Amino acid sequence: MTSEDPLDFAQIAIARVASIATLLGVEYKRQICAFLGGQLLLVADFIDTASLDQEEWLRLRISKLLGDVEKLCSWPRNISKGFPLLEAIGRAHPDSPLYNIAQRDIRQGLANLTSNPTAAEKAIHHLLRFTERGDKKRRQTNDEDSSPSKRRATPAEYPGHINGLVHNALQKHMRCTCEKQTRGEHLVRLLLQPPLSSKDAINGNLVNFDFLFSSAPFHVGSGFSRWQDVQLLVPWERKKSKKRVQFVNNHHEESNGDSQKALPVSQSRQARVDPGQFCKLISLDANSRLCLIVQDGELQKSGFEPLKQIVDHVPGISLTEVLDNYRLTAKTKLALAYILAHSVWQFYGSDWMTTKWSSETIQFMKESEASGANGNSRLYPCRPYLSVRFAGEDQDLNSGEPSYTEGEIHRYPRIKAFGIMLVEISIGRPLRNNDRGLREPVSRAAKANSDLLFALECSRNDKLWGDCDYPDYRSAVHHCLDPGAFNLAAPSDEKERKEDLRYRRDSFYENVVLPLEELLLGTKWMDQLTTIAPLEIPSKVSSIPEFASPEDERKDSKAFKKNTLTKSQKEAKVWLSRMRRLNNELPQTVISPRSRVRIAVLDTGCDDNSPFFFNPDNASRLAKWKDWAAGSEQFEDCHGHGTHLVSLAMKIAPEAHICVARVAQSPDQLYYASENVAKAITWASREWKADIISMSFGYAEEQPSISRAIREAMYERDDRIIFFAAASNYGANEKEMFPARHESVISMRGTNAKGDFEDFNPPRNCNEETIVFGTLGLDVPSAWLSEIDNEVYKSGTSIATVVGAGIAGALLGYAITKSENGALGQMVSRKLRTRQGMLSLFRALASPTLKDHYLYLTPWKLMGKADDVRWAIFVAALCDI
């Protein structure tokens, strides 16, 4: 009989089954299997982090839990006695034959289970109920031990006093007193690590903090010399049988434990750092990584280690500057917000919160790929630092919360400040009082209230959110900015103060950190937290909000003149130049005006006073106009989105005529314009005889009037009309939109100029055809309103839709020219006017990508070829349909 604790065995065995299920889900591309693995991992984590009070509850139920997991592993077989598969996977050595056999059998059982979605969902729900009951027990325990207030327990990483221990140890050394330096203070950067780095943060028997220090004291009005990378460790020991950790802070406890044995450096190399020696210590070797240990509240020097990262010796760049000058993708915004939220929760109530956490104190350091390679420096948005001055202007010595400033609306400035930062990240710009043309408030309360009200105003403005308009994100913002979310009676003593702090910290975790975490899990971006690409060359031109106001557009137009193009913007311009060269090679003889392809663009209209249409050739191709939104008889666009699409269609298909249907005055009104869209479809088909209809919008649910209009058009035109529509811009959070998912419509997704599908695309519809198509949809330049002299850069599946429609128009125009040469040409032209025919040619001209069933349109396959060869590609693609 083994003496191993059954809870330890259960945690190990279930965690290994979770790993098998997760890998199986990736291998089989079976999402339900990955979900099962994630739920099993939560169960294992729950067992591992159970408190002493929960252990009794767990021990009564652990046998039943193991039996349930064993059934999943052997499904659909019934195990009469014991847990043979879990025993083997949990206790056998991973290289042993017994382990390998058990792993094979578990893989087969989980594959059988997840091939039946109904059974798998029941299993996941059963496991979920187990953890929910455990959470309920945890909440009951917390309530009995502390306060009658109902609150959700939050995961414990390490006791909060460790944060204070580190802060106090460093504070003693930040004022330099060495004789060779004028007295000043060292600048400090605390690396805010993502939660997924917990294995690095708590390594062996050590808690790990990562810092950067200026290797010379900072003085007001002066710079600094170099940055020193410092690893700061705090010893600890785990008492395995009690499922909790205990930190070691004095020699007596150390002498009775074995924590020193787990240190990565030898005891003999440690030496105390005396006051006044810190500056000399961190200047010894600025190209190494210094290792310090907190012992008895003092710093102990342990030696040098290889650099963790190579940081340029230049001032940090604040989040404010990043938002002013860089374009952040939706993935980057969510990852950064989550890392900062988890860090606020981790340090909330500690001395590290005496520094104001704002877009000015959150900073980023330029990092090089190799020593001295400053020319290749990059900013990594998911490695933010908190800039700390222990006696500087950023410190708030009266930092206790709540604030009792008379007249202040929001009593918790740290939570409010983080809410403001979340708004800034989401809309991609810092919030400043002068944004509204208001004078600076004169009192502290008025300034605080003005900042809060402005942030609330921005958080409720749907037009500002663009690619970050996620319900969970907005929920986190609203919780932080809601003045009533944390309002409690003023604590009367120290015990009530601690209870108040604990309540706020738990509430922050549940209502801010968890929603952001679930959002990252839903978008499949959680595993990419530490691998998000660095920011590219600064540019603001590409970050014009999708629903920006005309005043914003004019501001961004002026900004364009001051900034260089980003890499993706340059590549998009090259892509368009390549398309122009292809069109020059495709002979398209215009026999008559009606022989031109007609593309109908249904959107916000078109401003024919935009500089793009000053070219007479472009203006002459605006063939038709109809306004269902306001009844205007002249070309008009109050927003700019439609003008951008119309001019882009003209660039892609330079011989096509464009018919413009205004179905709404702004993109947000499109959601209520389904009847206008249906009328425009019918009009474009019957009156304009459009060959292609482009719809760069969509609805969450099917719109019967639009479905009916599409079916009628297909019937009346004998299927010889092609519809394009935008898939969606919400990633995996939303399914493919309607009408993109309509059976008679070609759904388009967006790629960059190299054919990589962007993360704003929705997943492939399981009922969709075996493949989906994508084309350029990132940072694409085209015209805007007449007030803007320059082109603007836009992204999304709405852009890819009109690009795809333009490509189809160019290909169809070439086929129409060839149709004059006999029956074969007429056959190809006739088939290419249908959805089935266009998709067949798209397949012939597309290239595979790294994602299965995702094809990237590459019409360049027609470039540089003899016309006979080019024509043969068309014939081969269409002859069999």
Among all residues, which ones are annotated catalytic? 603, 641, 798
Nearest to 275 by CA among 351, 183, 175: 175
Q: Where are any strands of DSSP class E within 631-760?
A: 657-662, 692-695, 722-726, 745-751
Strand (E) or helix (H) holding 248: none
Between CA 103 and CA 120 the distance in angstroms is 19
Characterize the bridge pairing of strands 657-662 and 366-368.
unpaired
Between CA 214 and CA 228 the distance in angstroms is 6
* Structure tokens, 252: 């007596």
**How close are the terminal C-alpha atoms of the chain, in Å?**
70
Between CA 316 and CA 339 the distance in angstroms is 18
In Å, how far are 605, 606, 665, 695 from 627, measured between CA atoms?
8, 10, 10, 15
Nearest to 197 by CA among 419, 384, 403: 384
Contact between 722 and 692 under an 8 Å Cβ cutoff? The reply is: yes
* Structure tokens, 684: 């474009």
Between CA 383 and CA 212 the distance in angstroms is 12
Between CA 228 and CA 170 the distance in angstroms is 14
Between CA 193 and CA 202 the distance in angstroms is 12
Residue 47: phi and psi, rounded to 5, are -65, -40
Between CA 794 and CA 369 the distance in angstroms is 31
Between CA 416 and CA 412 the distance in angstroms is 6
Q: What is the CA radius of gyration of the chain?
A: 31
535: helix, strand or coil: strand
Residue 161's contacts (CB-CB under 8 Å, 6 or more residues apart) are none
Contact between 639 and 670 under an 8 Å Cβ cutoff? The reply is: no
The number of CA neighbours under 13 Å toward the Cβ of 70 is: 19
Between CA 151 and CA 510 the distance in angstroms is 9
